Amino acid sequence: MLNCSRQSGKSTVTALIALHCAIYEPGALVLLVSPSLRQSGELFRTIMGFYSKLDWAPPLVAESVLKAEFGNGSRIISLPGSEKTTRGYAGAHLVICDEAARCDDALMAALRPSLATVDGSLICLSTPAGKRGFFFEAFTGSDPQWTRIRVPASECPRISAEFLANERSSLGPMRFSEEYELAFLDDQTAVFPTDIIARAFSHKEVLPLWA
């Protein structure tokens, strides 16, 4: 789980991980998903840009704007963030979900079984998008299967303090805290804050009002 600021390099890092998997694990299937096919395609282009700089990597057997197949049998496929389009893939060694906080929970439910037979890995990268959904629950939860990495803009040396000051002024404190400080915020249209709703529920045994 990569909860990282805008322009902190999370897409670059995951692109390198995807290419490493395709090169060093012959026959690997790498799936790239995001809320839109355009975003998945951008990540795919980043991967292939790195590949073009390697003169020793397995040759390409087939390539399109959304798919690459290598001589070692590995494939990298970019997909739109739809539960219907991601079903049917099996034996995925690596699934990368970009902008995961903005993907439907149904998409995540459809993706996870594709990792089962090869004990594949799932990488979710995003900035926050409210206190709801798979990304929020997984990142703020305690499930030990996840490695959680948080990189706010203040810890990224590529982003200057002057730029952040301008962004804070332009976006306002709430939007800035979400995009750059990685705060999970309540939906501004919500009638009640998430914390109040959560406190209304109890996991303890509730005694009936009458026998």
Question: What is the percentage of the chain residues whose pLDDT exceeds 70?
Answer: 90
Higher pLDDT, 188 or 151: 151
The CA distance from 21 to 68, in Å, is 13
pLDDT score recorded for residue 194: 56
Cα–chain center distance at 136: 11
Looking at this protein, which amino acid is placed at residue 112? Answer: R
pLDDT tens-digit readout, 107-157: 888 888 888 888 899 999 999 999 989 999 999 999 999 999 999 999 999
pLDDT tens-digit readout, 60-86: 999 998 999 999 999 999 988 777 767
Name the residue among 133, 134, 175 with its Cα closest to residue 153: 175
Query: Domain ranges in the chain?
Result: 2-152
The CATH homologous superfamily to which domain 2-152 belongs is P-loop containing nucleotide triphosphate hydrolases (3.40.50.300)
180: pLDDT confidence band, cut at 50, 70 and 90? very high
Evaluate if residue 191 carries a pLDDT over 50: no
